[in-house]
Structure 1
């Protein structure tokens, strides 16, 4: 058994919470630092099924903070209070590793280990590389490696000589991108219009699809701890309908 504080300290060493963005809420979400943890469950997000299936005293280590923004009331019929109530009743706890983990682990892992690109430049949230890719070949690679049935693409360049990536929703970083093609998720309409006007090709690689590797990365970092750590696979809230 370990205390929540001991596990928190370990997580802080591998991905310092102080690196998180000012608007973020990484760190302790639910729990008492002095309490003992029975097991660790690692997941991109947390849902009802996970809470119900996990035993009392479980610590959930997630990527997306369950409490995000101003929480002014605990209405147990609404999200996230409905999940928080069930967790509290089972003395479960939650820690989030969000924008700090993007910087220390997630972006580089997806760029290098999943897509097979060699990082040649990196700022806190952007990985970049140079080379030569054919339009169709690049899209085929992305679809295969990220298991995407379809791709939304802004602009079209038959010859691509540089690529940048930010997992999750990174379109706000567009002004920092110095590449022919920018891979990120949750690309909005007006972001697409801006990209077109500035001759930046963008490929929407999905929020869930680009961040689903969080658990497999983190579980390796937890193997040194004297406590059981397992992965729970959260569900993508979106699905594709074909008629």
Structure 2
């Protein structure tokens, strides 16, 4: 899909309405492609309300809710609400953040797994990791490489990402096929291993102990890229898409909440 094209939008929505921007986002990265457990789309506000400013962020944080201007639209990668809530407790997350934004008449549109599939995963795989020939297939990019030692490949990735260390689970001495999933994708271990491709590797984030045990038993190697490191490019990609649509946005610097000491 060409993000520079102008979608056919309903005439009742003016260009400063949340509804118009919702359809721009949907045209660029269809919400109906999101995973069943996801909550992309309108998270807060109304399609009929208008906005003065657009903010782009990886995460809707307490600091952002405090600093954002009234009557703003926030386009976020991670939904503020993943699950339904029974009590809107303004002292607890995520309602504490939503409460501040409602008081400022702000809206949130989330572009999560739909955007992973349409833009983010390919960008990270092609532009950052350098596997430009890999193809996007559902949640992951994948492709074959010339047979390479696991250790050499891990060190190359560590250098490209400018990381001091990498968490890995090695199941074979060499790698010939790679799968890449931005964010947290180790739930796909059994599905990928079932493809029976020799010397396969899954690159993703948020590796758990039992994920590694399962992968090793199935002969699938893993490299754990920190969640933030694979998704931090969301803001610059969306900013470029909005500029093509004639909008200027404010990029917020959402830092990794996990640090090392």
Shared fold (TM-score, shorter chain, > 0.5): yes
| 2:216 counterpart SS class | helix
* Deviation larger for 129-138 or 209-218: 129-138
How far has the Cα of 1:237 moved from its partner? 1.6
| Correspondence for 1:135 | 150
**Partner Cα distance (1:142, 1:39) in 2:** 37
* Deviation larger for 56-65 or 222-231: 222-231
| Correspondence for 2:54 | 40
**Partner Cα distance (1:122, 1:54) in 2:** 35
Q: Which has the higher contact order (CA 8 A, sep 6+)?
A: 1
| 1:94 counterpart SS class | strand
1:50 aligns with 2:64: yes
8 Å CA contact retained: 1:146, 1:210:
no
User: How many residues are aligned here?
Assistant: 241
**Partner Cα distance (2:115, 2:103) in 1:** 29
8 Å CA contact retained: 2:201, 2:223:
yes
| Correspondence for 2:131 | 117
| 1:2 counterpart SS class | coil
* Deviation larger for 221-230 or 189-198: 221-230
Pairing partner for 1:234 from 234, 237, 254: 254
| Correspondence for 1:159 | 174
Structure 1 gaps of 5+ residues are: none
How far has the Cα of 1:156 moved from its partner? 5.1
**Partner Cα distance (1:59, 1:144) in 2:** 37
1:107 aligns with 2:121: yes
**Partner Cα distance (1:193, 1:65) in 2:** 30
| 1:183 counterpart SS class | strand
How far has the Cα of 1:82 moved from its partner? 0.5
8 Å CA contact retained: 2:125, 2:134:
no
1:52-91 to structure 2, matched below 5 A, reads 52-91=66-105
| 1:142 counterpart SS class | helix
